[in-house]
């Protein structure tokens, strides 16, 4: 399939995990890509994988929690390609802590990367997406649909991403810009593998986070991004799609 021929896609968090797999998947379907992340080495690896698929690929180091850097990244995309058709907000961080141990610095860091960056990039991209009748896919989480112990700050930011996506979907529906959120559960990514679990937690409370079904692979989430951001999903907007092995089913 070449669902993204002649389309330009901006992907944050493209240096690893779901972001990298999404970039490679869309590259294989003909997209031209602007890839951003704070990890320049990882971006280079992703760029190489995309170019092996024959895709035009530009990388841009960007701390997405910084508004000015987001401005520059979107400007770089338009300068380089002249248009923007799809925005994929995939950059994210997670932390597991007792609620009373979360410092103001911890709170502001996760808020900046997981929520403020989505707000910044959606706002900056919107005028260009209106021109192309494009769309946005925001990476939320199953933690944005249900509560989870020891991840209160993460849950708060991801729930906000879900409702921000729904709000934008309504506001820009008349201008033919679609906005959707994906809500993965347990996924085998570097983010998940590096998650530090406090020693003194009540492990009985973790069952809802990790259902019995085997964790998803990043490429499975990337496949959902590809579908939602393609013209095949023309009538889907304002959705918060769970990909979580029934974690949020009951």
Residue 150 has pLDDT above 80, yes or no: yes
Going 122 to 127 to 128 to 134, the CA torsion angle's sign is positive
CA distances (Å), 77 to each of 37, 74, 123, 136, in order?
14, 5, 15, 15
CATH (residue range 8-243): 3.40.50.720
DSSP 126: H
**In the prediction, which pLDDT does 210 show?**
66
Question: pTM of the entire structure?
Answer: 0.95
Using only C-alpha atoms, the chain has a radius of gyration, in whole angstroms, of 17
Tens of pLDDT, residue by residue over 163-175, are 999 999 999 999 9
* Ranges of each domain in the chain: 8-243
Q: Which of 60, 81, 120, 154 is catalytic?
A: 154
CA separation for the pair 132, 176 (Å, rounded): 9
Percent of the chain whose predicted confidence (pLDDT) is above 90: 86
Q: Which position has the higher pLDDT, 63 or 247?
A: 63
Tokens encoding 165 = 């996506």
CA separation for the pair 19, 214 (Å, rounded): 21
Residue 125 has pLDDT above 70, yes or no: yes
Can you tell me whether residue 209 is helix, strand or coil? coil
Active site residue 154: yes
């Amino acid at each position: 399939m070449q669902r993204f021929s002649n389309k330009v896609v901006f992907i944050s968090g493209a240096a690893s995990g779901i972001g990298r797999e999404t970039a490679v998947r869309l590259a294989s379907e003909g997209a031209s890509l602007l890839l951003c992340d704070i990890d320049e080495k990882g971006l280079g690896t992703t760029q190489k994988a995309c170019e092996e698929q024959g895709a035009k690929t530009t990388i841009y180091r960007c701390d997405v929690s910084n508004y000015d850097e987001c401005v520059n990244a979107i400007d770089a995309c338009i300068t380089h390609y002249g248009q923007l058709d799809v925005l994929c907000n995939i950059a994210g961080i997670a932390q597991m802590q007792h609620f009373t141990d979360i410092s103001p610095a911890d709170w502001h860091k996760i808020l900046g990367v997981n929520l403020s960056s989505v707000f910044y990039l959606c706002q900056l991209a919107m005028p260009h997406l209106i021109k192309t009748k494009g769309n946005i896919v925001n990476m939320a989480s199953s933690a944005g649909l249900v509560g989870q112990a020891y991840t209160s700050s993460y849950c708060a930011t991801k729930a906000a991403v879900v409702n921000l996506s729904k709000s934008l979907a309504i506001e820009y529906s008349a201008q033919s810009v679609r906005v959707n959120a994906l809500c993965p559960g347990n996924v085998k990514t570097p983010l998940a593998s590096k998650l530090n679990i406090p020693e003194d937690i009540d492990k009985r409370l973790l069952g809802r986070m990790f259902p019995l079904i085997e964790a998803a692979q990043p490429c499975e989430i990337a496949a959902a991004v590809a579908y939602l951001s393609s013209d095949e999903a023309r009538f889907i907007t304002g959705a918060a799609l769970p990909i979580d092995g029934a974690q949020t089913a009951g």
